[in-house]
Amino acid sequence: MGKIIAIANQKGGVGKTTTAINLAASLAMLEKNVLLVDADPQANSSSGLGLEVGNIDCTIYDCLINGADPHDAIYTTDVPNLDIISSHVTLAGAERELFAINEGRELLMKKMLTPMKSEYDYILIDCSPSLGSITVNAITASDSVIIPVQCEYFALEGIAQLLNTIKLIKRKLNPDLQIEGFLLTMYDGRLKLANQIYNEVKRHFEDLVFKTVIQRNVKLSEAPSHGMAAVQYDADAKGARNYLALAKEILSKQKA
Ligand SMILES: Nc1ncnc2c1ncn2[C@@H]1O[C@H](COP(=O)(O)OP(=O)(O)OP(=O)(O)O)[C@@H](O)[C@H]1O
Ligand SMILES: [Mg+2]
């Protein structure tokens, strides 16, 4: 049975999409069957893996709002074992449309993705920088959450609110929900600040912090403009190696 992991932090630009693309591609390279679900109207995961977002007929929006069969929304990528459900800018309007549904509006993504668990080893959901109803849907559908934390000023800003949302979802909608881990991103070991943030996150969240840290690496930011995961674009780049190490850490945790 597959595992669904949401990648969430309502703070913008912390590395959610970079993590979604490269962790998904790394797990796929380790021979897991992976589905990446782009749940952000910005559709960065979709375009970052080379999809022409404007030309896609069936997206997550159609599945959530129009009841389309999720199988019709699955597209293959150039990475073997990695499929994707694309997003579209229309998803921004779905927040409002979901509001009109009284009963079970938080459960739509769970209904959409649960049957997929028998078809994939991992389903990763790239969330938008918001705690709106699409993100609540994503976390409700998930077995666990990865929280990327950028090694920058105000890194922990908003984390209390995110943890509170996770706690509420766990209490009301998804009792088995776990935190997969806090992931430090864009780490530059030469900077005192990066080390301070690392220590602060470790002090707060202890064993919930991934041992793997994602370093700041230009290949990670270049790869999406070529429509590729960094692990395809330059597998030797330190950022690509970091994501492969993260995939291995997650696999070994699941075995333990
Ligand atoms: N480890 C890294 N090294 C260098 N650049 C990075 C790294 N991680 C992410 N970036 C760059 O930082 C920017 C923000 O990253 P990303 O898009 O992954 O964040 P996000 O949390 O998904 O943003 P949003 O909240 O808008 O969805 C991007 O330009 C990305 O290429
Ligand atoms: Mg993003």
Please report, for the chain, the start and end positions of each structural domain, with discontinuous segments joined by +: 3-181
3-state secondary structure of 92: helix
In order of 18, 241, 253, the CA distances from 26 in angstroms are: 12, 9, 16
Ligand 1 centroid distance, CA of 21 (Å): 11
CA of 186 to the centre of ligand 1 (A): 8
Q: Whose CA is nearest to atom 9 of ligand 1?
A: 15
Determine if ligand 1 sits within 6 Å of the CB of residue 12. Answer: yes
Residue nearest to atom 8 of ligand 1 (CA): 15
Q: What is the pLDDT along the chain (256 residues), one digit of tens a residue?
A: 899 999 999 999 999 999 999 999 999 999 999 999 999 999 999 999 999 998 999 999 999 999 999 999 999 999 999 999 999 998 988 888 888 877 889 999 999 999 999 999 999 999 999 999 999 999 999 999 999 999 988 888 889 999 999 999 999 999 999 999 999 999 998 999 999 999 999 999 999 999 999 999 999 999 999 999 999 999 999 999 999 999 999 999 987 7
Q: What is the pTM of this model?
A: 0.97
Of 212, 216, 221, 231, the one to substitute when testing ligand 1's pocket (max ligand atoms within 8 A of C-beta) is 221
Is residue 18 within 6 Å of ligand 1 at its C-beta? yes
User: Top-level CATH class of 3-181?
Assistant: alpha beta
Separation of alpha carbons 209 and 39, rounded Å: 24
Of the candidates 221, 211, 219, 222, the residue with the CA atom closest to the CA atom of residue 246: 211
Q: What atom of ligand 1 comes closest to residue 214's alpha carbon?
A: 1
> Ligand 1 pocket, 135 CB below 6 A?
no
Q: What is the largest CA-CA distance in the chain?
A: 51
**Which atom of ligand 1 is found nearest the CA of 148?**
21
> What single string gives the DSSP state of each residue in 31-70?
T--EEEEEE-TT-HHHHHTT--GGG-SS-HHHHHHH---G
User: Residue written as tokens 């979802």?
Assistant: 169
Q: Are 168 and 135 in contact (CB under 8 A)?
A: no
State whether the beta carbon of 217 lies less than 6 angstroms from ligand 1.
Answer: yes
Query: 11 C-alpha vs ligand 1 centroid, how far in Å?
Result: 11
Query: What's the full length of the chain, in residues?
Result: 256
Residue 5: predicted pLDDT: 98
Please answer whether residues 212 and 242 qualify as being in contact, where contact means their C-beta atoms are separated by less than 8 angstroms.
Answer: yes
